[in-house]
Structure 1
Amino acid sequence: MQITGEVYKTIVKIVDERMKGIRVTREDFNDLKAIVKDLAKAQEKAEERLARLEDAVAELAEAQRRTEEKVEELAEAQKRTEEKVEELAEAQKRTEEKVEELAEAQRRTEQELMSLTKTVKNLQKEVGGISHTIGYTLENAAYKALPHLLKEEYNIELERKPVRQYLTNALGREEEVNIYGLARKGKEKVVVIGESKSHLSRRHVDAFLKKVKRLDPMFSKGKKFLLMITHQSKPKVLNYAKEKGIRVYFSYDFD
């Protein structure tokens, strides 16, 4: 069949139209490829971000693990601290019990000490009483024997038997004089002053001399004759008393 010019034109037109459609489809395909490429890049970036996120999550997980370990260590330390506090509380309890025991022992000791102090005071009173009794016995023997002894040894005549006397000293206070008597030696007035000690010591001699000095205003009536009487004394004390002008008599001198 012969193609006429009109048919040819129509065919060419149809082909051209088809070719145009094909070009449009390729452009769309190229656009699609570009979009796919962009999507691939975006996917790659997303995967990179995801990888970084996974690393961060791993680091967080490791940090969490270390935190949990630290918390476990702290919990263990807290447990040990609580145990130590419990031990300290128990030790404190034992200490308080021991202090209470010591306080009770101290209380008993104080009671015993008070009882002992009372006993010692009673003993002191008893010893003091015995000492006074011994002293009075010694003095009473002296009162009887001294008139004869003084007359025989020193030609001193007592006006009457010596006595125990309280005299007022220079300070206006009364002091006890164990042996006191007025006497004469020829025409001279003599005041006999004596002290008794069961065991005469140097300290007793000095105390007696101080007493005599305090009582000096009372002895203006005559010359002083000082004597001390005792059961026993050391030779050096006797020599010291003699140097001070004191005549010492022993209890056996009164027999």
Structure 2
Amino acid sequence: MLDTFKIYDELKENFGEQAASKLTEVLGQIYQDLSDAVTKKEFNELKEVVADLAEAQKRTEQRLDELTVCVNELAEAQKRTEQRVNELAEAQKRTEQRLDELTVRVNELAEAQKRTEQRVNELTEAQKRTEQRVNELTEAQKRTEQRLEELAQAQKQTEIQLQKLTRRVGNIEEQLGGISNTIGYSLEDRSFEPLKKLLEDEFAVKVPRLIRRNIVYPSGKFDEINIYGEGYKNGGEIVVIGESKAQFGLKDVKHFLKLLERVKKHLNKPIFPLALAYQFHPRAEEELRKHKIKYYWSYELK
């Protein structure tokens, strides 16, 4: 007798309640139809076949579960792939945009290169002209150096002539200085006596005698005094200091003023300054009056 409950329980574990119920019903019907024609051995074999089918069904469902997991994993991988493809598509867009920008830049650089090459050609031509000009200047420099050498030789000759002329001028100045000194000494010699009278008459300065004298300073330096005299004025001591020149110029006045400062500091006495000359420069006269220095023309001594 067929145990439908046991069959149902076994089928339910593998096919579920609804399928197990249906299969149990079918098997029951088959069993009823074949009970007279099928032997027990055959039926048992049929049960084994059904059992094998059940095991195969389990393995199929297990494989289906595994396939389901794999499909899910493939679906996730597909999503990631699609996302990556989208990212690559965006990157491709940016790459194409960058390529467009680079293309524009390359075109600009190509144009710049053309201009650079043109400029280089222009500079090359300019360099050729410069080199030609340098060669011309080099030749001119050679001619200039040759001319300078000629001028140097001429300069040497000129310097030799100048040295000779300088020596001649020095001799002339020495001779003129001797003549000037002779004239100055002659004027001084003739002025001593007339000056003594003029000083007494005009300024009440009494000087026993006038002489030439060297005043020596503690340093060893000295000043030559053309007209020197120690006397009195209003009962007090006074020293006459005079400068005699054939021609009295502005430089002579300045020189005389410095001399008076040195002498006054050294003697520490009142000074009566005077100047004597055959001729006074107008500026010299102006300066002498400004510093209240009495001056006499040579003809006034008569």
Q: TM-score range by the shorter chain?
A: 0.5 to 0.7
1:226: Cα distance to partner? 0.7
Counterpart CA distance in 2 for 1:110 and 1:141 is 45
Contact 2:192 2:211 in 1 (8 A): yes
Structure 1 residue 142, shift from structure 2 partner: 1.5
In 2, the alpha carbon distance for the partners of 1:148 and 1:107 equals: 60
Q: Deviations over 1:100-153 (max 9, x none)?
A: 644443332222111111111111111211221221122112223211111221
CA apart distance, 1:171: 4.9
The question of 1:212 aligning with 2:236 is answered: no
Match of 2:103 in 1: none
Tell whether 2:131 aligns with 1:131: no
Do the aligned partners of residues 95 and 242 (structure 1) sit closer, same or farther apart at CA in structure 2, a change above 3 Å counting? closer
Q: TM-score, structure 1 length as denominator?
A: 0.56
Contact 2:250 2:281 in 1 (8 A): no
Check the 8 A contact 2:248/2:279 in 1, yes or no: yes
> Is 2:233 the counterpart of 1:185?
yes
What does 1:3-14 align with in structure 2 at a 5 Å threshold? none
Structure 1 residues 110, 156: CA separation in 2 closer, same or farther (over 3 Å shift)?
A: same
What is the SS of the residue equivalent to 1:215? helix
Is this contact kept in 1: 2:188–2:226, CA < 8 A? Answer: yes
SS in structure 2 at match of 1:136: helix
Q: Does 1:150 align with 2:199?
A: yes
Counterpart Cα distance in 2 of 1:98 and 1:150: 69
Deviation at 1:204, TM superposition (A): 2.1
Q: Cα deviation per residue 1:203-249 (whole Å; 9 max; x = unaligned)?
A: 322321211111224333x4211101111224553243123121001
| Structure 1 residues 38-117: aligned runs within 5 Å | 101-117=150-166
Maintained 8 Å contact 2:250/2:287: yes
Structure 2 partner of 1:232: 279
Q: Does 1:247 align with 2:294?
A: yes
Alpha-carbon distance between aligned partners in 1 of 2:169 and 2:247, rounded to the nearest angstrom: 22
Which of residues 233, 244, 254 is equivalent to 1:196? 244
Distance 1:191 1:104, change over 3 A: same
> What fraction of aligned residue pairs are identical, expressed as a percent?
38
- Number of the residue aligned with 1:163: 211
Asked if the contact 1:170/1:214 (under 8 Å) is kept, the reply is: no
1:190 maps to a residue whose letter is: I
Alpha-carbon distance in structure 2 between the residues aligned to 1:165 and 1:246? 20
Q: 1:111 to 1:172 in 2, by over 3 A?
A: closer
Taking a change above 3 Å as real, the CA distance of residues 138 and 92 of structure 1, as seen in their structure-2 partners, is same
Amino acid at match of 1:203: K
Instruction: Return closer, same or farther for 1:105/1:185 CA change in 2, 3 Å cut-off.
Output: same
Contact 2:264 2:270 in 1 (8 A): no
> Aligned-pair distance for 1:165?
0.9
Is 1:223 equivalent to 2:277 in the alignment?
A: no
Gaps of 5+ in 1: 1-89
Deviations 1:139-191 (CA, angstroms, capped at 9, x unpaired): 1122232111112212222122x111111247552111111111112421110
Q: Against the structure 1 CA distance between its residues 149 and 95, is the aligned structure 2 distance closer, same or farther, given a 3 Å change threshold?
A: closer
- Tell me which stretches of 4 or more aligned residues in structure 1 moved more than 3 Å: 90-104, 169-172, 234-237
- 1:194 Cα offset (Å): 0.6
User: Is the partner of 1:159 in helix, strand or coil?
Assistant: coil
- How many residues get paired? 167
With structure 2 as the length reference, what TM-score do the two structures score? Answer: 0.48
* Paired letter, 1:249: Y
| Distance (Å, rounded) in 1 between the aligned partners of 2:140 and 2:270 | 81
Cross-structure match for 2:108: none
Larger Rg, first or second structure (1 or 2): 2
- Give the residue type in structure 2 aligned to 1:195: E
